[in-house]
Structure 1
Amino acid sequence: MITRRFFCGCLAGALQFAATAARAQTTECAVFTPDRQKSTAPDDAIARLKAGNERFTAGKSINCDLMAQVKETASSQSPYAAIVGCIDSRVAPELVFDQRIGDVFCARVAGNFVNTDIIGSLEYSVKVVGARAIVVLGHNSCGAIKAAVDNVKLGNITAMLKNFQPALATLTKADGHRDSHNYPLVQKVAEASARLTAESLPRRSPIIKALVDAKQLKIVAAMHDITTGKVSWLS
């Protein structure tokens, strides 16, 4: 027989769990203010993205009042991270990391490489607005990487594919035939490209380097698996 004490204990536990979950939801739905952004350490920024991806892959994304966030961020923004991602329709960073309006800057281009314009955008993100982390997010089965592997010649795509030459240079004979149907080879190039892009940012931007050296900014590379939604961290 269920005793009154047992029932009350279970009820109290359930109410406590619900209250904790409600507090967590309230925190995640709160927009980032300048003070909240400034108090977020670079490692904490990465941890937030990791936790968001775990929610995403577990089917436990947090639902917030997005229109309320639109109103709260209408006059200013204080995102805590910047993400360089691919234009692929399956890898939207805000969704993959379960983030909301005002949380992250996103620069997207086929193959998630960086050029002067994107680096300038990142400098704005981290120096002017104060983002605490940069993530270069690649993904498997990337069309741009496959095209680079196949040395495609097509309009402006030809010039764009030159951005992947450093990653292609990491290939050896042991990687097998250079063909986009060679999945392990394509994956190796995609991962190398994400790593090399992340590593290049401090070299190509004195502004970014100064923030990294001052431990005010962290740069990491990651890969998104389009079959599972999971993000793996390369650095």
Structure 2
Amino acid sequence: MEEVSIKKEDILVSEPLSAEQQAKLKPIEVLERLKSGNKAFVEDNLTIRNTTERVRKASLGQYPKAVILSCLDSRVPVEDVFHSGIGNLFVARVAGNVVNDDILGSLEYACKVSGAKVVLVLGHEYCGAIKSAISDVKLGNITTLLDKIQPAVKEAGLTFKGDKTASNEAFVEAVCNANVLLAIDQVRKRSSILKEMEQKGEILIVGAVYNMKTGRVEFLTQRD
């Protein structure tokens, strides 16, 4: 296997990649780098990332390692969570980290056109969109968005034992996890481009949940 020309310490420094460096990366290596960056974030072992020099480097082109589909929530600073700097990550944000046509197009662009190696669907604890879906909130265009989370509410409810309301943190967590996994299913079913890239080993499609109290990203075991 060809050696990737990025030093281990650069994982935390998060220098913008060149096209050549990006092309040499394997999806599993990118996933490990995301995990390493999160470990640095959790342990408060951070380095300066966004200097004016890096801004200038990134202005010449972008070759991110991964694309993250995250919730809109302001308490989830995605680049910080993975200790990643300018030019290293694509981030698509929408309440409830749901999948729609525009999100799918963005993920396809990130991977097929711009060379990202990992698609990560990132949910989080105490998600307001999840709680609102559980409570069946009806309000303007929010209603349509929450409808996309309802399948996760139903799926989690099939096996969950206990109070199935938004006031029960355990049920909210169960729905959050189900919503992430269902989003991954939607990506594979609705994007032939990403599904084919995954089957060829060109990308990984994974899911995780951000722990608000610890800052740790817990990766989910995917179903068959």
TM-score, scaled relative to structure 1: 0.87
Write the mapping of 1:1-235 to structure 2, written as runs, cut at 5 A: 24-25=9-10, 28-170=13-155, 171-172=157-158, 174-235=160-221
- What is the one-letter code of the residue matched to 1:163? K
Q: Distance in 2 between matches of 1:46 and 1:173?
A: 30
Number of aligned pairs? 214
Root-mean-square deviation (CA, aligned residues, Å) is: 1.7
Measured after TM superposition, the shift of residue 200 of structure 1 is 2.1
Measured after TM superposition, the shift of residue 176 of structure 1 is 2.5
Measured after TM superposition, the shift of residue 231 of structure 1 is 0.4
Tell me if the contact between 2:14 and 2:88 (Cα under 8 Å) persists in the aligned partners.
no
For each residue in 1:3-25, what CA deviation from the matched residue of structure 2 results, as whole angstroms up to 9, or x when unmatched? xxxxxxxxxxxxxxxxxxx9825
Tell which structure's C-alpha radius of gyration is larger. 1
Aligned partner of residue 111 in structure 1, secondary structure: helix
Tell me if the contact between 2:137 and 2:143 (Cα under 8 Å) persists in the aligned partners.
yes
TM-score, scaled relative to structure 2: 0.91
For each residue in 1:145-173, what CA deviation from the matched residue of structure 2 results, as whole angstroms up to 9, or x when unmatched? 00000001112111110011221121137
- What is the one-letter code of the residue matched to 1:175? K
Measured after TM superposition, the shift of residue 225 of structure 1 is 0.5
Gaps of 5+ in 2: 1-6
More helix by share: 1
Aligned partner of residue 117 in structure 1, secondary structure: helix
Q: Distance in 2 between matches of 1:52 and 1:91?
A: 15
